[in-house]
Amino acid sequence: MIVYVQWRFRRQPGICAALPGLCHDPDVAVQAMSAQRRAAANAEALPVLLQLADSHADPRVRKNAAQAARTAKKTPQHHAQSGRPDTHSYATMTSLREPVTERGSL
């Protein structure tokens, strides 16, 4: 699980550079792929994931990389530095800011 939380240390030198290499290790590939997507933007992680899905020797890693690539494609783009979504943030959704009214009081 130590690999999974490495995205939190993305500002430390060498952490983001080490994650693509860890994606090749079958023992920690799933955690490294998730950390790679969170540390860098999904768009930056996608080429690495697609390459792993196409050419890795271990079928488990290929399967997990294909799943991570699908997730990266459909997940809203996140800021690499803040981890917050560009759009559709819960804090900016109007439905959460509007007061709740009782039925019948409209």
82's tokens: 């803040």
Our CA dihedral for 1, 43, 80, 29, rounded to 10 degrees, sits at: 10
Residue 86 contacts residue 79 (beta carbons within 8 Å)? yes
pLDDT digits (tens, 9 = 90+) for 24-77: 899 989 888 888 888 887 888 889 899 999 999 999 999 999 999 998 888 765
pTM for this entry: 0.63
13 — pLDDT class (breaks 50, 70, 90): confident
Greater pLDDT, 95 or 23: 23
Greater pLDDT, 28 or 93: 28
The predicted pLDDT at position 1 comes to 64
The predicted pLDDT at position 4 comes to 72
Q: Residue for token digits 């390459």?
A: 51
